[in-house]
Amino acid sequence: MERGVPIRAVSRSIAVLQCINRHGSLSLMEIARWVALPYPTTFRIIQTLLHEGLVECEPTRKHYRATQLVQTLSVGYRESGNLLLRARPHMVALTRKVQWPVSLVTHVGQSMMVRDSTHSETSLSFCNYEPGYTLPLLECASGHAFLAHVPDSDRLSMLAGLETLEQRSHMLEMFKGDKLVQRIRADGYATCDRNPHSAVPRKTSSIGVPVFEGDRVVGALALVFFASAMPTAEAVRRYADDLKAAAAAISEELTHDLMMTAVPADTPALPQRLARAPHAAAALN
């Protein structure tokens, strides 16, 4: 049994279902390759998901796709806050200005999940990332931007969870220390060269910046560009300020919404709260 995974079969089944949701219709061999499982194991999992009605086999070829029944897995989940509502206009405006697509990404478990994107708003994109697409926390610019701005205790707890799942990596060790975290906070952005876990691995690079609600980081914006179009340093020079400005505008609106809701009389005013969170205050400047 894998350390930290009480029921390995359940973990593997979830990985297979997430893979199908992410990539669409796939053959058994493709699924096995994406989730790094033996073909016989993948076959048994697919047979189980077929039995439960969560996936179906295409009638004209042996490819498997999710059914509408997967929507029952989200029953009971309710979106909270105005994050998507506030972010969308700024994302669209930024994409119209720079042409490159922008994604809004939030932290979910050990991953960063796309909540919205403007990939369909521009021709400078290999594909359209639908809400629900996930990226490993330690292997994307949005994940780095998010990790650098959570409280230190939360960051170390997340890293400990990744270690439990045997996901040790160079980036994990880097985020255990303060040097990388302080650099990202000072710069206001994180980068990822030739993203390894995109729909087109190694073909794109990205810049990620944090989004705040008050003094709490609630997600990140990621600007994605063709790696062959320019070096990351050039992309940072051209686009980082605009991306940070969009994130700051979203953060300001979210913080205003937060302060307009009913709060106890002794809740500190926004300037006092931001004074206790320098990195959040910087994002709103």
Residue 85, CA atoms < 13 Å, CB-side half-sphere: 7
What is the C-alpha separation between 3 and 21, in angstroms, rounded?
Answer: 26
Contacts of 273 by beta carbon, 8 Å cutoff, 6+ apart: 214, 215
What is the C-alpha separation between 98 and 241, in angstroms, rounded?
Answer: 12
- pLDDT (tens digit, 9 = 90+) per residue, 24-41? 789 999 999 989 999 999
The alpha carbon dihedral of 39, 37, 133, 17 has a sign of positive
Contact 91, 249 (CB under 8 A): no
- pLDDT (tens digit, 9 = 90+) per residue, 78-105? 555 689 999 999 999 999 999 999 999 9
Residue 77: predicted pLDDT? 55
What is the C-alpha separation between 158 and 156, in angstroms, rounded?
Answer: 5
| Domains, the chain, with CATH or none | 8-74 (1.10.10.10), 83-283 (3.30.450.40)
Residue type, 164: T
pTM over 0.75: no
